[in-house]
Amino acid sequence: SQTIHQWPATLVQPVGSPLSLECTVEGTSNPNLYWYRQAAGRGLQLLFYSVGIGQISSEVPQNLSASRPQDRQFILSSKKLLLSDSGFYLCAWSVSIGGAEAFFGQGTRLTVV
Amino acid sequence: AQTVTQSQPEMSVQEAETVTLSCTYDTSESDYYLFWYKQPPSRQMILVIRQEAYKQQNATENRFSVNFQKAAKSFSLKISDSQLGDAAMYFCAYYTGNQFYFGTGTSLTVIP
């Protein structure tokens, strides 16, 4: 069966520090991968998605970047965190065939202080 | 741009009663999919129900059903016989072109 792992679960980082959130998927090949940010009252905002290794699409300009170094690994990064980067980050995957549901990780609560 | 609108930030329902959550979306695509996700306090996103846009028949999953009105771009969720475990945030989502777009969510309270 397929599983998705996202870590860490919580993170407190000072302003200006770097960020690396990691997400891995097991039990499937060539998944579509997604990073979302969830802020109160704003639902889930799509940050990045990837349909293959090295292929990253960005939905909104921001202080964050994403990489997909391996087929089932998706990393969200920042060189210098801002206070506004605080939020709940969710990684998700879906099969590459359109219309299948997205499966979500447990999420990371990021607090920038 | 694809947008999904949930106009009810909060809803409440008496246990065992029925509640309907609203969702509208804006798209120029003809091929897409619609979903309702549930996010309980644990914050784990759970799929509730899925609808293919090319299907006229409304999807049903046990106590959960949808009213899909393609021309009106409306996709509401009906929860029958509400249970305490249904209390959660509910998100409507739209999928097209490898991307999922989510609404802002409706917080559902179930009153014992």
Distance of residue A43 Cα from the nearest chain B Cα, in angstroms: 4
Q: What is the pLDDT of residues B36-52, one digit of tens each?
A: 999 999 999 999 999 99
pLDDT at A62: 78
Residue A106, pLDDT > 70, answer yes
Give the DSSP H or E segment for A24.
Answer: strand A19-26
Whether the CB of A54 is below 8 Å from some CB of chain B: the reply is no
Answer whether A67's CB lies under 8 Å from B35's CB. no
Answer whether B74's CB lies under 8 Å from B8's CB. no
E strands of B16-87, at which residues? 19-21, 24-26, 33-39, 46-52, 60-61, 64-69, 74-79
d(CA B104, CA A44) in angstroms, rounded, equals 7
Whether the CB of B91 is below 8 Å from some CB of chain A: the reply is yes
pLDDT at A40: 73
| pLDDT bucket at A96, cuts 50 / 70 / 90 | confident
**Residue-averaged pLDDT of chain B:** 94
| Partners of residue B91 in chain A, C-beta under 8 Å | 43-44
